[in-house]
Chains A and B, each alone.
Chain A
């Protein structure tokens, strides 16, 4: 029998606010343990939370970017459970009135992954176990999170991968999170069940907690799918439980059933007041929302005529897209800037995080100037390319690197003169060419290019040289 995978995601995304959700401590990543703390975020008796305005705005932004409805009335609740990384023994979260509900993200195969809800909450601190001692650092405690919960709409691991990538992209674009999975600013819990293909009934699900890499998510899902299918085929039952994925052994294992079944005893947090979201505010945030990556990519393909692969590369990070749009502004062919960026500029930004930052030595304005020179016919493509390399090295403007004398093409006589010299100075190449080695002509073209400082039209020079050899 064939089995269908059914999965849903709960994704925690750390918001890129300056301060924590309920106090004014910094949210900066890293830092010596317990140096980003105050009486409020370590839960000293008598302290009270005060909600960060930005957190509400960012959550609404995230909701709008994922097609959610934004609640008019929302509130904060306490989720009670005792664990050393949770200083108040409750997490301030949202229970029955989340800020955003009923959204979706569309995948490339056309399927819509429904988003059940997005709510805001505080992150916990970090535990480190060392030789049996438990050490607690509350720097991360109180960092704002949004939790994005989907319906069990995933039917394959590929869909899951695409969803996570898309979500990451969207959150980065709208500026609410850097979504750095390796730093834990985006973490996924996946619930998985299997069922015989064609069946409508959901199977018993397990939940794999806290994964912070797309590769691991895919591997864990594949493993868990196989494990559940094996269980069912051998007549056993899938037990509803919470699992941990071990990336070394590539297996999942049960997170030790705590002595107490969880009962979070949610109730409204009496220290915080109602959140009221006026419709005008939602409209305002909607208007301020940047063009989303999907829309942008489609526009690049449909309106600018870029190949899909190029459009994907250019829209992957918001800064690259911004750079591209500035560099191609007012140029004849939108592909020119795309080719320069992907072909040459990308060489200086190798890693993903460098691409995300996109701190390159050539400014978008300077690249734009170069392309305009090229468009106007004042310089030729090969000079433009070599100039761009120099610009990348020196950070100088194109106009500083190209002499007046370099501007404009070579006149016919000078070109013929140089071609003649090339033929005369390279007897071996001439005989090679005549002997059938057509490539030998390239050496002579190189001579012309070198001596014209790149100004010559290489194709034209090649034709003239061939003519000269043949006519002698």
Chain B
């Protein structure tokens, strides 16, 4: 299978890339890893007139902490996050997710920002970004624009990113003292999308939950930020089984899965309930320095 014809542009700066997108007049797409875009182009589900390849732009592979934020540049691959000592030490939710995205070969090519920009509710990184309240920094013809990861996706494969904008970097707040996080995913086999997955972040003062955030993957038409479930945990003890059960129930209520080859909707909803509780316990243990 071969994609339909397109013009190919390989700019060496973000400015040039934006110019190419503007020249494409709504029919140009950015390609970084291409692990979602190329399969769609081969199936002719996508036929952009122009591909703007950003792989030759220097400085987009930043993966570092600066000014209280973790910066993930547009060319940081899933495998870079999986192999990063900084991620392993400070961002367990990112390591959890990185190890279970697609397969090792795809992880060597696909990127964090590309996955988020793809706007697929099955994408793991959009959930992680929403859970960690990431800021998504884009550049367009009018300059820099910042989007919140929590309302970035507008419908299936649609985001707030303009057709003339490039998502150049995701910025995630550095972990606070007492913070723990986890990402749990049920997949039928390596390389499949999640039947359901849940991302969790908590901040503890002693045993008391002072901040919480919960994100859900592939259980609705959008990436879900389960804010009511997270809010129900504030002031509760991480050891309070009834509070965790209630958060699981509320997360389940926030989900809206469809029955498909990965299972019936009822099963997926129950997965959300169970995975939320498990992820909260895991994040809590990590917050308290007991790796679980």
- Is this pair of chains taken from one and the same complex? no
